[in-house]
Structure formats: C-alpha cells, structure tokens
Structure 1
Amino acid sequence: MKKTKLFSSLGVVSMAALALAACGKSNNDNTNEAKTASKFPTDMPKKEIKEGGTLKVALETNSPFTGIFSSELAITAYDSDVASPGNESLFDIDDDYRINDKGPATMKLDRKNNTVTITMKKGVKWSDGKQVTAKDIEFAYEIIANKATKSQRYTSQLATIKGLKEYHEGKSKTISGIEMPDGPTGLTAILHYDTLKPGMTNSGNGYIWEHAAPYHYLKDVPFKKLESSDQIRKSPLFYGPFVLSKLVRGQSATWTANKNYWRGRPKLDKIVYQVVSQESASQAIKSHKFDIADVVNAQWSQVKGTKDVKFVANIPLYYSYLGFKVGKWDGKKDKNVMNPNAKMGNKSLRQAIGYAMNTDQVYKHYTKGLSFQVPTLIPAQFGDYFDKSIKGYTYNLKKANEILDKAGYKKKGKWRVQPNGKPLKIKLMAMQGTSIQEPIVQNYLQQWHKIGLDISLVGGRLTEFNSFYDKVQHDDPSVDMFMAAWGLSSEPSPADLYKEGAPFNMTRFVTPENTKLLNEMDSQKAFNHKYRVEKFHEWQKYMFDQAYVIPMYNAYKVMAVNDKVTGYSRRPSQDSAWYKVGFVK
C-alpha cells in the first residue's frame, strides 16, 4: 500500500483525460454518468479462488516509467504502481486510514515520553529470506536524510525525529533519535520526538516513514550511487507478496510469487505491468488485453458496454492544480525561498487567472460528469476538515477583468502590461497526455487571452512527463506557472506539500501566515479535534485568497476488471493487497 505523496500528472492518469470545451450534450447526461459511477462497487465479487495464473495490468502512460524501485527515492505515481506487487507498507490500515496491528509491523505511541515504537513481526522476510530488522527501519531514514541520495522525501516533518537534521547536515554519522533496544538485528525501533503530532495514528502523516529498506543488501552501495544502482533499478528486494523477476526498462515489469512472503504464498503466480498509451486504453479494454486497466474517463462511452468486464470505482485522494512559481528551492538550507520580485507574485494576477478558467464546464462535460471541479486543497473525503463554504475559482470573466483593472494591469493594445508599464509575457508548462490534452490546454490559453493576458506554452508545446518534473523540481526559469496533480497521503495535514521545508512545495511560496497555520494544525492543541478543524478551515480560506495554488479537479477512478478476477478492491484497507487477488475457480 502506498501512502506517501506522489506526483500524478494532468492528462496522464485515467481521471485526467480532458477535451476542449464546446457545445454538446445536455448536463443531464453528465449527471446520469456521475450517478452511474457513484453506484459502481469498490470491490470485485468474492468468489472461490483457484491457485495460480498470470494477471496482466495496464500502466497507461505515453512516457516510459523511470523504474526507481525504492519508496525512499521514487517520486512518480507510475513507479509506485509498478512496484506495488512487491512494495508493501509497514502498516495495514482500516478504511478510515487509521493504522492497525494487522500489517508487517505494529506501532505504539507514547505521548508521555514522545516516542513511537515500531516492532516488526517475526517471519516478515525480505524476498531473499532475511528477516526484516530494526536496522532496516532505521536505514530507510538514512537513505532519505543523507544528502548524497538527493531524496525528495526529506521534509521538515520527518526532521522532527531527534538527530535526523544533524545527520542530514553531516554533523553526525548516526541518527541519535532512532533507538534499537535489541540491537540492529532486533525487531524494534523507537523513534524519539520533541512532541507527538495529532495525525500520527493515521497512515500518511508525514512524521513516520512507513517503509523499511534492506540494509544488508544496500549497505555497500554508496548513497550517491543508490538511485542508479542495480539493487534499486534491476533487482530490488521487497517483503511484499511478489518479487521482480523480469524488467523491460520503462515498458514492463513481471512479478512472480514471493516464496518467503510472511502471509503465505499469494494466489497468483505472476503479475505483469505493461505500458500502454492513453490513446490505446479503450481498445485494450475492449479487446481484453489486460485483466485490470484504468478507464480514461473521456473514453467511458467507448468501453461501458464491454462484455466480460466489471467496473469498480472510487474517488481517490487526489486533485489536479495550477501552480504559480514564486521562488526557488535552496538546497543548502533545505527550504523554499520566495522571490519578492517574482512575475507571478501579485495575488490579483493569480486570482484573475483562476476566475478566467472554465474548469467545471470542461471536466464535467467531456468526462460525462466522471470528473468534477474541486474548490479547495483539502478534499471532501476528509470530512469536517473540508471547508464546504469555499466555492473555489468558478468561471467569471467579468470578475477576472475587474481584478486586473483594479490591480493596475492595464491593456496596451491586445495584451495587458505590468503595473509598472513593462510587457507581461507568461509561460505555462503543461504535460503531454492523451490526444485531447492539447485542445484542453489550448482552451485555457484562449480563456486567458480573453482577459488580455499573453500566456503561452513553454517551448510552444506540451512537455514530456519526465522532462516536466525535472523542470518543476529544479525551478527552470522558463516556467511561470504549471499544471500538475497530487496523489495525497491519507492523513489530511498538507504540511509536507506546502511548508517552507517541503521540497514538494513546488511553487516555492513561503509566508509567515502559511507557516503559522500549518504549525497550528499539527500542534499539541490540535489533539483537540474541534481546534484542528478550525485551523484546517482557516488554512483553506487563506490559500483560496492567496491563490498560489489553484485546485482544479478530481474524478471517479474507474477500473475495468476481468470478471474472472476476485479479491481486487479499491477500498483504502485493501488497496494494493495483491496477495488476495486471484482468478475465479
């Protein structure tokens, strides 16, 4: 189960298939399709399973997957998906994302002593037969915190473990706050904090890493060479139900049953992940090329009548967004630094861009209601943490023009100029996707041109997936704003996406108010649920007003599953539980 935050991409996951807004069918059709999706089950029917068989899974992307088989180093959803048959989390969860004791390890919080004790179960073994140990738990933190690995997972939240910051800065060769009371080969690791946080009982909280790394297998690989090593790229060790047995780099991965799996032999013999382009997705489903495949929502009408297929669905913890670059990442100080003179630093400019977007029309119409606009950066799935009073940036060209006029962005001919009278040219970076990605982005450019903003694509075209994130991560000066997406963690705190010390804060915005609110929602006071909810609402209102990041849409994630498959589920407690999946007798 993957609980850590990952990049997804606009236009490359199933929910992200878009098209140009225009006249067409009535909204009643859209509503009906959304109602249909809401009635889809989250589970395949439970039936008697036969042993063996090969399950084929589609990985829908127009780019090769990078194949970094390490949770500590991987950053893309594709790598996470491909690794999922082997890459099991330390902890199992319930359907509310609360950590329980049913997984490979147990966890105990001690608020009096500010410690978290993680204990591996005896018999949880790496695929080479070695027991997973306390050192493996600790070593994962070393990989993340050692600067030589250049891991994007090191955040100010993880750095609340005592000694992790000193290790990261090279002041210490060990992490003082991770205790192994029975020694490195024991089963227990105790994490020491200054204070515990209210979200720590939930998976994805950002303060506790939920994976281990095989120290005995990786210890001789220099940290700086770890990401490119064969141990990570070709022959990774996992303690999950399957072992990577064959890899066609960037294209396919074949997983075979792990004979050392602690829960017993999985039902399937093999799981094969195979890359297929988004354009080919619907045809692949109709021709039964795969046993499990994402439905591209814009192609729903093409596949909905397919025989011998069952559709399962859920609304994932996800949102796409428009981000504005207002600073850079300082690698020496491990923090985001705002540029006071950033082109996109004016709040009015960002707000106007948001109001000029016809987001709801585009997604609802062209995915038949299977995709929908989201108003805030906290999804509705988080219950009362979601502030339903915020309506988001709804389409309003008049308001957009008024905001720009008032802020001094006057028109000089066709285009508006900056308040200082200088020309204003804005570069948008958007990612390649399905064949309809180009027209959807052109649609947004047209909307912005209507309010006099000279916005065009970086390089004059959509950007390839891997190049896109390389430019975003490294703050390429050619990028003023960008469209991307998050797969969210299952604890609602947004701190490790938007804090000053968060590498994933890709817009690089840092303000005292943002820091204050993020600290308050994860403070000791926030153990009081009512207080924490209030702070979440304050933060959402603040982010809506500041518009450094404008949320765009979420969607039903619909999967087409061979009706002879059983044990497959989209419920949080069962997601990626590959050991339960098999074919019907």
Structure 2
Amino acid sequence: MKHSKWNKWIAVFLTLIITVSLTACGKESTTNESNKETKNTTQTGEKMVNIGVTDSLSSINPLLMDATEILKYAMALEFLPLVELNRNLEFEGMLASSITTEDNIHFKVTIDEKANWSDGQPVTAEDVAFTVLRLASPKLANASMALYAFEGIGDDGFVEEGATEIPGVKVIDNKTVEFTTKYPMALTTFQNTYGRYILTLPKHILKDVPEDQLASYEWFSAPTVVSGPYRITAYDLQHFVSYEANDKYFKGQPKIDKLNIKIVTSAQLLTSLQSGEIDFIQQTTGNVLQEDYANIEALTNITVNYGAPVTNQSVFFNTNSVSDVRIRQAILYGIDRQSLLTGFLNGKGEIVDGFLSSASPFYASELTPISYDPEKAKELVQQAEADGWDSSRTLNFYVNSGDTTFTQAADYIAAKLLEVGIKIQVTTVDLSTLMTKAGSKDFDLLAVQYTYAPVDPYPDINWLLSTDGWTGYVNDTVSQALAETQLTSDVNEIKDKYLTIDTIAQQEVPMLSAYVISAIGAANKRLVNATPDVYGSFINVHEWDVTE
C-alpha cells in the first residue's frame, strides 16, 4: 500500500481522537428521558446496568463513525459490525458468518443466514452495499473510514456525487457481498479496519432519505429498526446514552432490559463503582487512574480483570533533530524501564522493544528488550560527542499533562538521563497541544499512550515510520517488510516480518516503549456473564444478567 493513503487516514483518525477526548460534540436528545436512575432495577422492576466511560461521543449516527472505540461500541449495540475481536484476539462473526480471501484483493463477506432486523426483515448483502455507498457519500463527507482502498472510490475516500453503486462493493447474492481493493491487503487488515467499523444500516428504512439529510436525520436519535441487542431511547453526548433491549435480537433476547452508558471523569470511577452507580468499566473506554487501581481491587462489591497489554507508552524521537542514532540508543540504555514498570504501574504491564507486545499474534519473544545499562549509555554519549554532538544541548520532551502517571515517570526518566550526560527538559501540555507538536515535528522527544492493534499494527507503523510520520524515520528494509505483511495470511510469515521491523526499531531507535500497560477493567459482582476485557467485552452483552 502507498504511504500517502494510510497517512491521510491516520492523520484524520488522530485529529478525531483529539476532538472526542477533549470536547463533547453534538446535541442533546430531544426526548425527555433521563439516565439519572442508577439503581439495579427501574421503577417498573426492569433490570438495568450502567456502563462507565471516560470519553465523550461525537455522534450516535453510524454514518459519522470516527473510528474511536467508544463511538463504535456505543453504536454497535444497535447496528452490528460484520465481525468483532473477542478476548482471545480472534475475529468473531457478528453480522457476518465469514470473511474470506484467496488473493488479498477480493474479500467475500457472507452474512449470517439468521441475521434479521428487529422488524423481521432479513439483513442482506444489499444492506451492506447501501451502507458503504452512504459512508462514501461526498455529501456526508466522512473521511475517517479509509474507503479509498476499494475500487470505484476516489483517493479522497468518496464516490462521485450521485453514484448509485460502487464497483468494489458487489452484491453476489442475498447474503454475499464481495469487496475488491485497489492493492493487496492482509485479511486481518480488512477485518480490523472495515469488518469492525462498518456498521450496517437497514436499506429498506433509509433508502429514500436524501443523502444531504442523513447526517442530521432524527431517526438515529431513537431508531425504530436495529440489528443489534439494544436500541437508543435517549442521549446527551456529554453525559449519557440510554438503551432498551431489542427483544427480536437474532442471537437471543437480552436478559438486561435497559443499559446506560454514563460519561464521567476518571476521578469519578472509583467512587461510582463503590456506590454501585456504575456497574461495568471496559479498559479502552474507561480510563481508571493508576492511583485508584489498588482501591478498586479492594472493593468488596467489584471483580477486576486486567486486560492484555496493548497500550504502549511510546516515546517518539524526531529523528531529524535527534539525528545521531547513538544518542537515541543512549536514551534507551539510560532508562531503567523495569523500575518504571514496578514503581509506577505496580508491575501491571510489560517491557518490550519496538511496537508489538505479547498480546499480538505477531509478537516475537526472541527479541530481548535492551536492559538498563548506564555505563553503556555514557559510552555512547561520549562517542557522539567525539563526532560533534553538543553535550550542552537540552532536548525538549513533551508529555501529555492528562497522563498523571507518566508525567511523574518523565521526571524520573529525565533524572536518570542526566546521570549519563543527556539533558532533558520535560514539558507537560494538553493532548491537543501535544498532537500539534507531533504533527509539526516541533519536538525532540514526545510521549503518548498508543495502542497498536495487536492483529493489525500495519497502518500505525506504516504511518509512524515515514517521512510524514511523527518520527520522520524511513528505512527501506522496514518499508519492504511492512509491504510484505499485506501479501500473506500466514501468521508465521507475518510474524517474521514484524520481527525484522522491531529489531530495526531496537537498533535505530526511532521510538522506544517505556512500558506497555495492562489496564484494569471492573464489573459489579451482581453482574453475570460480563467480563471487562480489552476486546470482546460486549460480544455477549445479550447474555449479561444480574443476580438481584
């Protein structure tokens, strides 16, 4: 694939993350319902569960999907994705019973024969093709879905105005649709980028709605026809989304009558779990403060689950300003990462070199992380100085002020590096400013929590290790290895390519991993069949129940 295309998608994606994290966009529901009820049952005796999240939503319209996990999960309760990742990092069918490819160009999606809309109509391949056509509409102008990968869609991600079909999205029969890409794509990339984020809509309900009205179409505020286990009844994008059960859900009638997503601050999660106002926190949508982990573990009404280590506390170098690889290597040798993991995360995570953690099927355990070696770091600094490196120079290190754990860790890192002869000035800024610094390359070092999708790290690495990416680092061997990950579905072959990439990252150090976080999830003990995990938490939401 071409760097420019994926770079455009990543840039849009990151911009949207900033927006969703810092601003609660959109309007309130026009209904009079509220989610202030926080008891185990409603006044009519219905079972109810409250899910706590710390990210606001930008919309509840699937056609405005922005690729953030909170938005996907909130809308996928109503409109199922084709597939979803389960807790074992396996793609599990939701609307689709299978997705296959023989050439990494043509992808056949087979819709589950049992898949029905809540009004009894079958979910069809026509529904999928209709949804993709609307997602690619220039009138909706949603550029976040990277649809330019498909034949018949422009490099801007849109079809021509007035288009009635997409050559690269072809209906084969009532339950089969074939996607055709412009260039080779790994099956896992298709499943993760499109299978998880295309939320199919009912064509028979929406086909006559003018395209320019779909973005603000009031039907999405309380849809009458859904494919998922729940439907929205009320919302306030700054505070809550309320749902009622779809008793016609084709996978089984939900046991919980009503769900609420409650948007709170990280500081409120502990007390809300303790009081029972929140029943469930999932790792990627509810950011628990590190200092609250032990207190949550101690709650007698709560069961905790530490998810797979997928969130990398990455430190990126601007390789144009920190151009001497020996200085980058010295920084890697000069940071006591094991002490960071033990002292700041209580050991809840791991140390790796490169991009992939042990959660990835492509992780190579034979790549041993560099150990703390201050004497080696000093030696490298002295070698660089002999060749002209200015030892009096202070490197600017930008850190997200909202990440209270790493702001403390960054000061520890700066003190350690000063001992080996490298001066670091830590500057904490808000996330928006941090991303502006990253995009303009106005930094020497920059730290941010970054989740490289374990089953599909290609888009992120391809972006980061490029001229346009944050690091500005380009390596022909890396580029070749990345391209070859898209030509095969053989896990061992792909694993070998990522071993090459991570080995070069360890040697050239365009970035380093301070640690990989194993985040905490929590569930009230009254909940049955509900396990918070990094992936797959809501696949079986229709089977959740309460004991009271």
TM-score by length of 2: 0.75
Give the counterpart of 2:95 among 70, 81, 104. Answer: 104
Where does residue 338 of structure 1 map in the other structure? none
Give the counterpart of 1:396 among 373, 380, 386. Answer: 373
Preserved contact between residue 566 and residue 582 of structure 1 (Cα < 8 Å)? yes
Q: CA separation in 1, counterparts of 2:309 and 2:516? A: 8
Report 1:163-242 matches (<5 A): 163-165=152-154, 168=157, 173=163, 175-182=166-173, 186-193=174-181, 199-200=186-187, 204-206=191-193, 211-214=198-201, 217=206, 220-222=210-212, 226=215, 229=216, 239-242=227-230
Give the counterpart of 1:559 among 499, 521, 524. Answer: 521
Where does residue 360 of structure 1 map in the other structure? 338
Where does residue 408 of structure 2 map in the other structure? 439
Where does residue 316 of structure 2 map in the other structure? 323
Where does residue 392 of structure 2 map in the other structure? 416
Structure 1 residue 286: Cα displacement: 2.8
Give the counterpart of 1:54 among 45, 48, 57. Answer: 48
Give the counterpart of 1:536 among 495, 498, 516. Answer: 498
Structure 1 position 247 matched with structure 2 position 211: no
1:486/1:146 CA distance change after superposition, 3 Å? farther
Preserved contact between residue 63 and residue 142 of structure 2 (Cα < 8 Å)? no
The residue type equivalent to 1:581 in the other structure is: W
Preserved contact between residue 497 and residue 505 of structure 1 (Cα < 8 Å)? no
1:151/1:397 CA distance change after superposition, 3 Å? farther
Where does residue 486 of structure 2 map in the other structure? 522
1:345/1:188 CA distance change after superposition, 3 Å? farther
Give the counterpart of 1:496 among 438, 451, 459. Answer: 459
Where does residue 292 of structure 1 map in the other structure? 280
Where does residue 429 of structure 2 map in the other structure? 462
Structure 1 position 304 matched with structure 2 position 297: yes
The residue type equivalent to 1:374 in the other structure is: V
Q: CA separation in 1, counterparts of 2:137 and 2:79? A: 22
Q: CA separation in 2, counterparts of 1:262 and 1:456? A: 57
1:469/1:582 CA distance change after superposition, 3 Å? farther
Secondary structure of the corresponding residue to residue 382 of structure 1: coil
Where does residue 421 of structure 1 map in the other structure? none
Unaligned ranges ≥5, structure 1: 14-50, 327-341, 418-423
Secondary structure of the corresponding residue to residue 381 of structure 1: coil
The residue type equivalent to 1:355 in the other structure is: Y
Preserved contact between residue 478 and residue 500 of structure 2 (Cα < 8 Å)? no
Secondary structure of the corresponding residue to residue 262 of structure 1: coil
Q: CA separation in 2, counterparts of 1:150 and 1:510? A: 30
Q: CA separation in 2, counterparts of 1:112 and 1:203? A: 13
- Give CA deviations for 1:25-68 in whole Å, capped at 9, x if unaligned: xxxxxxxxxxxxxxxxxxxxxxxxxx94111122246xx45446
Preserved contact between residue 319 and residue 485 of structure 1 (Cα < 8 Å)? yes
Where does residue 471 of structure 1 map in the other structure? 436
- Give CA deviations for 1:72-122 in whole Å, capped at 9, x if unaligned: 73243443454453353212566644445x532223535279532223345
1:499/1:512 CA distance change after superposition, 3 Å? same
Where does residue 507 of structure 2 map in the other structure? 545
TM-score by length of 1: 0.71
- Give CA deviations for 1:229-249 in whole Å, capped at 9, x if unaligned: 466995678632122222222
- Give CA deviations for 1:515-574 in whole Å, capped at 9, x if unaligned: 200122332xx4555443322221221222222232232333333321111011346885
State how many pairs are aligned: 498
The residue type equivalent to 2:143 in the other structure is: S
Where does residue 370 of structure 1 map in the other structure? 348
The residue type equivalent to 1:403 in the other structure is: L
The residue type equivalent to 1:313 in the other structure is: Y
1:130/1:314 CA distance change after superposition, 3 Å? same
Give the counterpart of 2:81 among 67, 85, 89. Answer: 89
Q: CA separation in 2, counterparts of 1:235 and 1:563? A: 31
Where does residue 38 of structure 1 map in the other structure? none
- Give CA deviations for 1:210-232 in whole Å, capped at 9, x if unaligned: 52343664963449x94xx4669
Structure 1 residue 445: Cα displacement: 3.5
Q: CA RMSD in A?
A: 4.3
Preserved contact between residue 64 and residue 142 of structure 2 (Cα < 8 Å)? no
Secondary structure of the corresponding residue to residue 416 of structure 1: coil
1:440/1:501 CA distance change after superposition, 3 Å? closer
Secondary structure of the corresponding residue to residue 108 of structure 2: strand
The residue type equivalent to 2:458 in the other structure is: A
1:397/1:567 CA distance change after superposition, 3 Å? same
The residue type equivalent to 2:241 in the other structure is: A
Q: CA separation in 1, counterparts of 2:489 and 2:74? A: 37
Give the counterpart of 1:271 among 247, 255, 259. Answer: 259
Where does residue 162 of structure 1 map in the other structure? 151
- Give CA deviations for 1:189-214 in whole Å, capped at 9, x if unaligned: 112357866x5268845475652343
1:143/1:345 CA distance change after superposition, 3 Å? farther
Structure 1 residue 452: Cα displacement: 4.8
The residue type equivalent to 1:569 in the other structure is: T
Where does residue 258 of structure 1 map in the other structure? 246
Where does residue 348 of structure 1 map in the other structure? 326
- Give CA deviations for 1:248-299 in whole Å, capped at 9, x if unaligned: 2222222222345332431112222223332333333333332123654433
Larger relative CO (CA 8 A, sep 6+): 1 or 2?
A: 1
Secondary structure of the corresponding residue to residue 260 of structure 2: strand
Preserved contact between residue 178 and residue 189 of structure 1 (Cα < 8 Å)? yes
Where does residue 107 of structure 2 map in the other structure? 116
Preserved contact between residue 396 and residue 425 of structure 2 (Cα < 8 Å)? yes
Identity %: 14
Secondary structure of the corresponding residue to residue 178 of structure 2: strand
